[in-house]
Structure 1
Amino acid sequence: MATQSPFSMLEGLFQNLPSALTPPAWAIEESHRRVVLLLNHVLQQEPQAMERLARQKGCVIHTQWREFTFRVQATPAGLLDLAGADAKPDLTLTITEDSPFVIAQAVMQGGKPSVRIEGDVQLAAEVNWLADHVRWDVEEDLSKILGDAPAHMLMQTCRTMGQALQQFVGKRGAASSESSGKAP
C-alpha cells in the first residue's frame, strides 16, 4: 500500500502560494546585500578564488529560480557586488527544477541542482570552479564568537543531524524509485 509523503503536501502548498505574498522590493534588495556580504566573507578566505574572480572583473552573473532572481558583478578586488537591474548579464544560470524539495534532496545527496547555463563559457567555468572548491568554514567563524570547544560541539551536532537527514532523504529516494518501478 503506497502512502503519500507529507513533503508532497507541503510542496503542493508551496507551489500554490499566491504571488501576493511577495516581499517588498526594499526587503529583497536588503536580503541580496546580506547574501553578497556572506559570499564575500567566504571568498576572502580563499585567495585563489579572489584571483579567479578578479580576472572576471565587470562581468555580471544573473541567477534565477522560478520568479526569484539574483544579479551580481565581479569587482577588480575579486569580490562580488550587486549589479544594477539594467546591467546586461554575461552569464545566466537558471535552476530548472521547480521543486524546492527536489533541489534540497539533490544538495543533501552531495549533488547540484539542474542548471541551464547561457553566456560566457570562461565565466561559467570560473563559477563552476568556485562552486566546487570554495567552502565556508562555519566552525572557524563560530569559534571566534563562542570559543573552540562550543563551536566544535555545535558543528558536530549539526553534522550528525545532517547525516541523519541524508540517510532519510536517501531512503525516501530509494522508496519512491521502487514504487515507481525505477532502479535507484
Structure 2
Amino acid sequence: MATPSSPFAFIDDLFNRVGSRLQPPAWAVHEIQHRAVLFLNHVLQQEPEAQQRLTRQQGRVVKFEWRFVTMQLVATPAGLLDLAPEGAVSELTLTVTEESPFGLARAAFRGEKPAVRIEGDVQLAAEVNWLVDHVRWDVEDDLARAIGDVPAHTLATGARRVAGALRQFVGERSGRAGGTAGAE
C-alpha cells in the first residue's frame, strides 16, 4: 500500500474531485475575475514604473492557468490591466505547475514563487516576471486611509510577526519532512 506524499493528501484529493465537478456559473467567474483585475490595478497604480512598463505592452494578452482556473489579461494604454475580450489570442501562457493548493500556500509562506511553465513571447514573460518581482501591495498604506496611521502600523507589524512565525513553522516542518533536520 502506497503512503501519501503529504499529510494533506486526503484534502488535496477531495479538492481535486470536488473542484473538477463543481464549476461556478460563468457570471460568478467573470465577477471574481473582474474584482481581481480591480485589485491588481489598485496595486499597479501605486507603482509608476510598473505602469510605464505595461504601457509599452498595451494590447498584448497574457493567459494565466492553474488547474481548471484560467484568466486572460490585456495591458491597457493607461498602463493597467483589463480582462481580455472573449476569443482573444494570448501571446504568453503562464501555467502554475503545482497542483496542490497546500503546496502553493506552503511556497507562499516561504516567500517562494510557484513553479510556472512558460509558453510564448519571452520578452513579455520577462516583463511579467519584473512585475511579480517588484510590485508589492502596501497594505499598511491602505489600512491607514481607513483607520489611521498608528492603528494601521500596529496591525501591519502584528501581521508581519504572524507571517514570520508561519514562515518559520512551515520551514521547520518541511525541513523535517524532507529529512534535512539535524539532531538536537
- TM-score, normalising length: structure 2: 0.91
Q: Report the counterpart of residue 84 of structure 2 in structure 1.
A: 83
Aligned residues: 180
- TM-score, normalising length: structure 1: 0.91
Whole-angstrom CA distance in 2 between matches of 1:19 and 1:60: 26
Moved over 4 A (4+): none
Whole-angstrom CA distance in 2 between matches of 1:22 and 1:94: 19
Q: Report the counterpart of residue 74 of structure 1 in structure 2.
A: 75
Give how far 1:105 is off. 1.2
Q: Report the counterpart of residue 121 of structure 2 in structure 1.
A: 120
Which letter does structure 1 place at the counterpart of 2:87? D
Q: Report the counterpart of residue 18 of structure 2 in structure 1.
A: 17
Whole-angstrom CA distance in 1 between matches of 2:19 and 2:114: 25
Q: Report the counterpart of residue 100 of structure 1 in structure 2.
A: 101
Q: Report the counterpart of residue 130 of structure 1 in structure 2.
A: 131
Aligned to 1:17, the other structure's residue is in SS state: helix
Question: Which ranges in structure 2 are unaligned for 5 or more consecutive residues?
Answer: none
Question: Which ranges in structure 1 are unaligned for 5 or more consecutive residues?
Answer: none
Whole-angstrom CA distance in 2 between matches of 1:175 and 1:104: 18
Aligned to 1:87, the other structure's residue is in SS state: coil
Cα distance, 1:117–1:149 mapped onto 2, change above 3 Å: same
Aligned to 2:178, the other structure's residue is in SS state: helix
The 8 Å contact of residues 62 and 74 in structure 2, kept in 1 or not, is answered as: yes
Cα distance, 1:168–1:9 mapped onto 2, change above 3 Å: farther
Whole-angstrom CA distance in 2 between matches of 1:5 and 1:90: 36
CA RMSD of aligned residues (A): 2.1
Which letter does structure 2 place at the counterpart of 1:32? Q
Q: Within 5 A, what are the aligned runs for 1:31-50? A: 31-50=32-51
